[in-house]
Amino acid sequence: MRKKRKFCPHCGGQITKKKEDTVLRDCCSICHSYFYDNPLPVVSAIVEESREILLVKRDRAPFKGYWCLPTGFAESGENIEAAALRELQEETGVKGRITRLLDVDSYKSRFYGDLLFLTFVVRRVSGKIMAGDDSAQARFWPMNDLPRLAFRSNRRALAAYMHSKKEYWAIMDSIEKPADPSGDRAVNELSRRLINVLIKNKELIVLRWLEDVTGNPSTAEYHQYDEKNLISICDRIISQITLWLGHVYDTPRIRNFYTKLGRERKKEGVRISVSLSALSLIRKHIWEVALDRGSLQRNLDLYMTFEMQRRITIFFDLATYYLTQGYEEK
C-alpha cells in the first residue's frame, strides 16, 4: 500500500490538505509548500514472433506468480522508449527496437497509486531469453493459449495488438495455404513482400496521395474536398488491395465498393475523369513507395516483377470498371 505523506521534507511541518485551483492537494502547514502526486509512468513491451508473445512470470508482489508483458517503471530523467527497452532487457535478456507506441492506459494501483501504462511494440534484435531479477520465468506463449495476465493494461494492449494484426494474419494464412494448390511459391513470396510494404507504409502512401490529389490539375474538384473523407477513402482502397493480394477480398466486394463510390461521386457532381485520375494516382504512389523500399528490386527476376504488375493492374482495372458502372447507373 502506498504510504501517505505525514511531514514536509523541507521544513518538517505537518502535512494537511488544501485546495489549489480546485484540486485538493497535500500542503505543508508551516511553509505552505504543495505536493503534486502525478501518475507514475509504467512501460510495457509487446514482442511477438510467429504469433507467440514474450511474457514474464512475476517473482514479487503485486501479482506474484502471475504472467505479464515485460513491464516496469520509467526512471526519472529517462527517455520513455529507452525505459521500455531497458525493462525488456532486464526482465528477459532480449535487446529490441521499438516499432511503435501501441496503447496508453490509466490505472489506479493500491500499491503505487495512479499509474500511466505506455505499451510499445518491439522487434527483437538480439539476446538469449533469460529471466531477470524481477522474473521467475521468461518465455514465448502462443497467442491462442495465453495465461491470465496480471495487469488489466497488459490485457487491453494485447487485445488491441491482436486486433491490429488480425487482417494481416488472415492474409498471410491465405498465402501460405492458397485456394489454388498449384500456386506459385515465388509469386506468393512477392505478394507477401508487397503486402508488408503496404501495411507498414500505408500512412506514407495516403499522405503522398493526399498531397498529390489536392494539388494535381487533373483532380481539381478534389482541391477543396474534405481531407478526412479523402484520407478515409484512400486508406480503404489500400486495405482492399492488401486483402485482394492475400486472396481474402473477392471481386464482389470490389464491385460493391466502387459502384457505390461512383454513385456517390456522380451525385456530388465530381466528373468521372477526375475520379478515375484520383484512382490512378493511388496506384502511382503505391508503386513509388514499393520501389523506394526496394521490395520489387532485390533478387527478383523479370517474371516475378511482371506478375506483380499484372496483379495490381487487374485490381485497378476492376476498380476502374466498377467505378464507371457506378457513374452510369440511373
Q: Which domains does the chain have, with CATH numbers?
A: 1-37 (2.20.70), 40-153 (3.90.79.10), 178-328 (1.10.490.70)
Q: Which residues contact 193 (CB under 8 A, 6 or more apart)?
A: 295, 296
At 253, the pLDDT band (50, 70, 90 cuts) reads confident
Q: What is the pLDDT of residue 181?
A: 45
- Mean pLDDT value across residues 6-10: 87
- Pick from 113-122, 178-187, 300-309 the range whose average pLDDT is largest: 113-122
Q: Please report the pLDDT score of residue 174 as a whole number.
A: 58
Q: Give whole-number Cα distances, 70 to 42, 90, 96, 107, 200, in Å.
A: 11, 9, 12, 17, 24
Nearest by Cα to 115 from 126, 103, 124, 104: 104
Average of per-residue pLDDT values in the chain: 85
Helices 302-328, 227-245: crossing angle, 10 deg rounding? 130
Per-residue pLDDT tens digits for 30-80: 998 888 878 899 999 999 998 999 999 998 888 889 999 999 999 988 999
The CA R_g of the chain, rounded to the nearest whole Å, is 27
Q: What is the pLDDT of residue 180?
A: 46
**Residue bearing the bigger pLDDT, 21 or 231:** 231
Cell output for 247? 486472396
More confident residue, 245 or 136: 136
More confident residue, 85 or 4: 85
Write down the pLDDT at residue 1. 53
Instruction: Name the band, by pLDDT with cuts 50, 70 and 90, for residue 182.
Output: very low
224 has a pLDDT exceeding 90: no
Highest mean pLDDT among 43-47, 133-137, 171-175, 264-268: 43-47
Long-range contacts of 182-191 (CB under 8 A, 24+ apart): 184/307, 186/303, 186/304, 187/304, 187/307, 187/308, 190/296, 190/300, 190/304, 190/307, 190/308, 191/245, 191/246, 191/308, 191/311
Predicted pLDDT at 68: 95
pLDDT, tens digit (0-9, with 9 covering 90-100), for 147-181: 999 999 999 999 999 988 877 776 666 555 544 44
Model confidence pLDDT, tens digit, residues 69-81: 999 999 988 999 9
Tens of pLDDT along 97-121? 999 999 999 988 877 788 999 999 9
In the prediction, which pLDDT does 179 show?
45
pLDDT at res. 290: 72
Q: How confident is the model at residue 9 (pLDDT cuts 50, 70, 90)?
A: confident
